[in-house]
Homo-oligomer: A and B are copies of this chain.
Amino acid sequence: MGQQAPQGKIAILMDGWDPRLWTRGFEACAPGVQVTDTLPAADPAVRYAVVWKPKTSDMAKMPNLEVIFSSGAGVDHIFSNPDLPEIPIVRIVAGDLTNRMSEYVVWQVLDHMRQGRIYREMQARSEWRELNQPAASAITVGIMGLGVLGQDAAFKLNTLGFNLAGWSRNPKEIEGVTCHHGQSGLDAFLAQSDIAVVLLPHTAETEGIIDHALIQRMKRNTPLGGPVLINAGRGKLQVEADILRALDEGLLMAASLDVFETEPLPKESPLWKHARVFVTPHAAANSDPDSLIPLMVQQMLDFEAGQPLSNLVDRKTGY
């Protein structure tokens, strides 16, 4: 704590968050910093915006905005804004966020492979019976999206003895991971994966990628009785009606979903009550202000000193 204060004023535009967590955090981290969480009128002093799903009307009130900081790993919530100015967008890649995502992925992979759901059902019936238990070495986890998050999850699953496959847009080489890429590599990837973990960004190309056709191409004869889907990427990657249909047709054994087409997940969604679906409220890797703010302040100071920004979003690919 006690970093130097950036000269530019910071606007906090965090939909769904208590903005005071952020304003107080910035004040504590960089005493003297100018920070606001409301824009009643245009404010020419604002040079930085820290955003989550910012409103179009707010974006129009910062004529001298120089850098946008996204509080999460995904940036689709920024690109959906029609008035997005042509300035750098920084995606926060915090070790904390990466570690939390890997905690969630490893947790859910283990819960499926160790048959947590069935053991919990047996406990409710006071039933003592050991299930046939494949070892991690008999299971291949396939990771869709091999960025920082995907690679960290792969490394940690590998340490536990799982086999790893990966799929990404462009070719990658990662130790311990059988990598596939592009549309042409998708079938080989799906045929290999007993559990598919989705950590893709949401772009025009990936929207709705997890549909009935994709699930039909997943590996059938897995040691778990069928393929398992874990989506901790973005809700817009999945077609929820198709996932429900595939579960009920027996094409999909089970799913862990942290993200949804509409968030919060509507009360009437059948996903809530499906016995083979585990729902969490977009909580796989939450952004902890205390760990993100010092990284943002440092980037602002670097920027003011003429240094290059890191973790810039590529506007062409959208991530």
Question: Which of A's residues lie within 8 Å of B, judged by CB?
Answer: 96, 99-100, 102-104, 106-107, 110-111, 113-114, 116, 119-120, 122-123, 126, 128-131, 133, 135-137, 156, 159-161, 263-265, 267, 272-273, 278-283, 286, 288
A288 to chain B: closest residue by CB: B135
Chain B residues in 8 Å Cβ range of A281:
122, 128-130
Residues of B within 8 A of A128 (CB): 263-265, 281
Q: Closest chain B residue to A16 by CB distance?
A: B130
A255-B278 Cα distance, complex, nearest whole Å: 21
Name the B residues within 8 Å of A103 (CB-CB).
110, 113-114, 135-136, 160-161
A107 close to B100 (CB less than 8 A): no
Q: Which residues of B contact A122 (CB under 8 A)?
A: 281
Asked if A273 and B137 make an inter-chain contact with CB atoms under 8 angstroms apart, the answer reads no
Chain B residues near A104 (CB-CB < 8 A): 114
**Min CB gap A124→B, angstroms:** 8
A126 in contact with B282 (CB, 8 Å): no
A272 in contact with B156 (CB, 8 Å): no
What residues of B have a CB within 8 angstroms of the CB of A123 in the complex? 272, 278-279
Across the interface, do A99 and B156 meet the contact criterion of CB distance under 8 Å?
no
Identify which of A110, A128, A265 gathers the most chain B CB atoms within 10 Å of its CB: A128
Question: Do B114 and A107 touch (CB < 8 A)?
Answer: yes
- Indicate if the CB atoms of B116 and A267 lie closer than 8 Å: no
* Closest Cβ neighbor of A161 among chain B residues: B99
Question: In the complex where A130-B282, A131-B283, A136-B99 touch, is A160 in contact with B106 (Cβ < 8 A)?
Answer: yes
Contacts of A272 in B (CB 8 A): 123, 126
Bound-state CA distance A129–B267 (Å) is 12
Q: Which single residue of chain B is at the shortest CB-CB distance from A122? A: B281
Contact yes or no, B99 A137, CB < 8 A: yes
Question: Which of chain B's residues has its CB closest to A100's CB?
Answer: B135
How far is B93's CA from A105's CA once the two chains are assembled, in angstroms? 29
Shortest Cβ distance from residue A243 to the other chain B in the assembled complex, whole angstroms: 16
CB distance from A266 to the nearest CB of B (A): 9
Query: Would you call B135 and A99 a contact (CB within 8 A)?
Result: yes
In whole angstroms, what is the CA distance A156 to B160 when docked? Answer: 7
Tell me the bound Cα distance from A122 to B272 in angstroms.
9
List the B side residues contacting A116 at CB < 8 Å.
Answer: 107, 111, 116
Q: How far is the CA of A161 from the CA of B281 in the complex (A)?
A: 23
Compute how far the CA of A99 lies from the CA of B134 in the bound complex, rounded to whole angstroms: 11
By the criterion CB–CB under 8 Å, are A278 and B120 in contact? yes
What's the least CB distance linking A198 to chain B, in Å?
Answer: 18
Closest B-chain residue to A268, C-beta based? B126
Listed A/B pairs (19) with beta-carbon separation below 8 Å: A96-B137, A104-B114, A106-B106, A106-B160, A107-B111, A111-B116, A116-B116, A119-B283, A122-B281, A126-B267, A126-B273, A128-B263, A128-B264, A128-B281, A130-B281, A130-B282, A130-B286, A131-B283, A159-B159
- A-B residue pairs, 9 tightest by C-beta: A128-B264, A107-B110, A126-B272, A128-B281, A130-B283, A123-B279, A99-B161, A159-B159, A126-B267
